[in-house]
Each structure stands twice: as structure tokens, then as C-alpha cells.
Amino acid sequence: MLPTWYFDEFKMAGVDFEDIAQVEAYDRNQTVSTPEKEQALVAQLGIVSGQTVIDLGAGTGTFAIQAALAGAQVHAVDVSQAMLIYAQNKSETAGVSTLQFHRAGFLTYEHQDNLADVVISKNALHILPDFWKMTAFLRIAALLKPGGKFYLRDVIFSFPPAEYQAAIDRWIEQVAKPKGQGWRWKILRCTCERNTVLLFGLLRKC
């Protein structure tokens, strides 16, 4: 039983990934997480048959599916039911059988399998407030077997705090794409306003 003051990670921040239209748009707009790129990452991380892999904030499951296709026992963890359903449909199409889905998050996932050879989290940790990122790191460390690997990919800002407005505007201009070609300005702006800035305090120090 969690204490009443514990952060409720199921109350989504940022883009509403409980909305299936947003989930479909997310998967459509993915350019950094394609099956080919995730397959290469699986190889880079040395994921092979028989290993245990946990993907925290697994989203539409592109990485988790590739890790399962390599023969690993994979746990795809996400707070969004819509994301999990979408990922499960994709995994059925891909014909993988070693992938399990869990509706949970960094702060609530209870692992019931062997300790992990690899824990991965891509573009999800920024959603937690800074204090709770520390809690997430402690929980991730406890999921890993000795010598296990933690792979983190996320947005990291590096600029003097007083320059935040210009720096975030600059970032949006750099990454926003025209309609149909990826993340658009409106969505990025919404993401920034609501949660991405939370990254600033913690990850810059890592």
C-alpha cells in the first residue's frame, strides 16, 4: 500500500497518451524509434536469447518487440492503457511470444521475473518531477542483476537557467517538423509547457 503522499504517475502529464488518436499519431511520427533503429540498439546492448529485459515507458512497443524478436524475455511497462493495447496489437502482428505487458510505471512496477540483464527507458523519464526521478533511479537499480545494464535516452537541456525562454524556443524550432513529417510545433510546445522542462534540474547533472 503506497502512502497518500506518493506521486500518482497514472495522472498523465503532457500529451494525453490515453487518447488513441494521440497514440496512433505518436507511432506514425516516430523517426528515432523505427524497427530498424531499435534492432540496431538491441544488438548494441548485446541483448540475446534467454536474457531478461525491462522497458519502462515502453510506449507503442517498437523497442520491446525487437528485443523479444532477439529471444529475450521482455517486460513492457507503461502507465497508458492505450499505449499498451496498441503495442500488444503490434506485437501480435510481429508474432512475438516472449513479451509481457504491464500497466505500471517507474514508481509502481513490481517485477515478478528474474532480475534484468537490461533495463531501458527512452523518452519517458522526463515526465516525472525531479524528486521522483531519483526514486525511479533507485527502483531501476533494484531491478538489475549485478553487472546488468541501464540504458537511458531522454531530452537533456543544457543552458543557463535565466536563458530558458530563448533556449526552449530554439529547441522547438530545431526539432519541429512540417505536417506529416514528425512532431509538429504545436505538440512540442504542449510537451514543453507541461513537462519537458522538468528534466532540467536533474539530468543536466548526470
Ligand X SMILES: C[S@@+](CC[C@H](N)C(=O)[O-])C[C@H]1O[C@@H](n2cnc3c(N)ncnc32)[C@H](O)[C@@H]1O
Chain contacts with ligand X (rule: CB under 6 A): 9, 17, 33, 56-59, 77-80, 83, 105-106, 122-124, 127-128
How far apart are CB 160 and ligand X at their closest, in Å?
27
Nearer to ligand X, 33 or 98 (CB): 33
DSSP classification of residue 114? S
Query: Cβ closer to ligand X: 5 or 161?
Result: 5
CA distance 22 to 166: 28
Side-chain half-sphere exposure of 140, counting CA atoms within 13 A: 24
Give the Cα-Cα-Cα angle 17, 18, 19 (nearest 5 degrees): 85
Smallest distance, ligand X to C-beta of residue 76, A: 9
What separation in angstroms does the CA of 107 have from each of 113, 125, 127, 138, 173?
17, 11, 12, 10, 33
Q: Tell me how far, at minimum, the Cβ of 61 lies from ligand X, in Å.
A: 8
For residue 172, what are the contacts with CB-CB under 8 A and spacing of at least 6?
185, 188, 189, 192
The least distance separating ligand X from the CB of residue 99, rounded to whole angstroms, comes to: 14
The kind and range of the H/E element at 148 are: strand 144-153
Nearer to ligand X by Cβ, of 161 and 177: the residue is 177
Q: Of the two residues 183 and 200, which places its CB atom closer to ligand X in the complex? A: 183
Residue (156 or 166) nearer to ligand X, CB: 156
Residue 23: all three cell numbers together = 497514440
Q: How far is the CB of 124 from ligand X (least distance, A)?
A: 3
